[in-house]
Every structure is written in structure tokens, then in C-alpha cells.
């Protein structure tokens, strides 16, 4: 995968703000957090690729407890479809 154009094979997990994971396909991509000192509106771009089979429904989710303010950071948005998790539908 590349982060802001630089190829990386791993990052320090404490710098990952979120992750994009598809457990059924073994995809687990950490998404680097934006530095506190970066200017407003700054982003990090992570590019990665993965293969999907011919058809199927796979759920994706973020595995970083990123919902601040609730138990272990896993409440609220982390438990709500459309925020931080959903389904990938492959095929017709």
C-alpha cells in the first residue's frame, strides 16, 4: 500500500486513526491519522488494492476504536451501520 505516495508495509498502530478492514477477504489497511500540527483540511491518502471473488457479500469495518467518548471507543458510530462499517456486495 502507499501512504501519501510513499510505499509502506506497516505503520505504527498508535498513529492509525482508522482502518479499513474486510475480515472475510483478509484485508486490513490502517489509515494514518492526520498530524495534530497539520494545517486545517489536511488529509492523508492511502492507496491499496485487493481482489474480490466473483460474487458475495462481505462486511467491512474499522477496527480502530475511534468513537471518542464511549466505552473503549467502540460505541455510538462504531455500532451504527453506515458509520465505520457496512457491506460490500460483489456481483449482480
Partner 1 sequence: MSATRRLVYTLGAIWLVLAVIGSFVIAILPFPPGAASNVAGSVTDTIRLLTWAAWPVFSLTIIGVIGAVLVRRSDPDAAAAPARELRGNPRLASTWIGVVGAVVLALAIVGTITLGNDDAAQALGLGGRTISGDNGNVIGGALDEGGYLPVQVIAQQWQFTYRYPTLGGFESAHLVLPNNTNVQFHITSLDVTHSFWLIALGVKGDAVPLHDNVFLATTQQLGTYRSVCGELCGLWHGAMDDNSMQVVSAGDFDTWVAQEKVLDAPIMKYLPPYSTTYVPDPAAYGS
Partner 2 sequence: MTTMAVARQPRPLSQVLAQWGIVLGIVGAFIGFVVGAQIGEHLVPADANSTGSNAALIIGYVGSAIGFLAGMGFFNYPIARLMGRPRPTEWDEAFLYGEEGGWKRYFRLNVDHKAVGMQYLVTIIAFLMLGGLGAMFIRAELLQPEPSFASAESYLTVVGLHSVIMIFMASAAIIGPLGNYFVPIMIGSRSMAFPRLEALTFWLLPPAALILLSSIFLGGFPTGWTGYAPLADEAVRGMDGYLVAFTLVGISISLSGLNMIATVLTRRAPGLRMTQIPIFVWSVFVTSVLGLLAPPVLLAVLVMEMLDRIGHATFFVPAGGGTPYLWENLFWVFGHPEVYIFILPAFGVMLEMLPVFARKPLWGYRVAVGGMVGVGVLSWFVWQHHLFVSGIAPSLRPFYMFSTEAISIPTSIVYLVAIGTLWKCRARFTVPMLFIMGFLFNFLIGGFTGVFLSDVPSDFALHASYFVQAHFHYTIMGAEVFGLVGAITFYLPRMTGHVLNERLGKIQFWWMFISFNGTFLSLLALGILGMPRRVVTYDPGLQGLNVSASLFAFALGGSMLFFLFILVKDTIVTPVRARVVNVWDSLGNEWRLPSPIPIHNFTTPPTDWALPYDYDRDDHRTAVPGGGMALPEGVTE
Sites of contact with partner 2 (CB under 8 A): 56-57, 59, 67-72, 74-81, 87
Phi, psi of 73 (to 5 degrees): 70, 20
**Cβ at position 75, least distance to partner 1 in Å:** 10
Cell of 35: 498530524
- For position 78 contacting partner 1 by CB under 8 A, the verdict is yes
- For position 42 contacting partner 1 by CB under 8 A, the verdict is no
What does 61 bind: partner 1, partner 2, none (CB cut-off 5 to 8 Å by kind)?
partner 1
Of residues 35 and 89, the one with the C-beta less far from partner 2: 89
Cell of 87: 457491506
Give CA angle at 48 (74, 9), nearest 5°: 85
**Cβ 86 vs Cβ 92: under 8 Å:** no
**Cβ at position 11, least distance to partner 1 in Å:** 8
Strand partners, 89: 57
Amino acid at each position: 500500500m502507499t501512504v501519501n505516495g510513499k510505499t509502506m508495509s506497516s505503520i505504527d498502530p498508535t498513529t492509525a486513526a482508522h482502518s479499513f478492514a474486510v475480515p472475510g477477504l483478509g484485508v486490513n489497511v490502517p489509515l494514518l491519522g492526520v498530524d495534530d500540527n497539520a494545517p486545517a483540511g489536511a488529509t492523508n491518502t492511502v492507496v491499496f488494492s485487493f481482489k474480490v471473488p466473483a460474487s458475495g457479500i462481505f462486511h467491512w469495518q474499522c477496527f480502530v476504536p475511534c468513537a471518542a467518548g464511549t466505552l473503549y471507543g467502540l460505541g455510538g458510530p462504531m455500532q451504527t451501520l453506515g458509520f465505520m462499517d457496512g457491506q460490500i456486495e460483489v456481483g449482480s
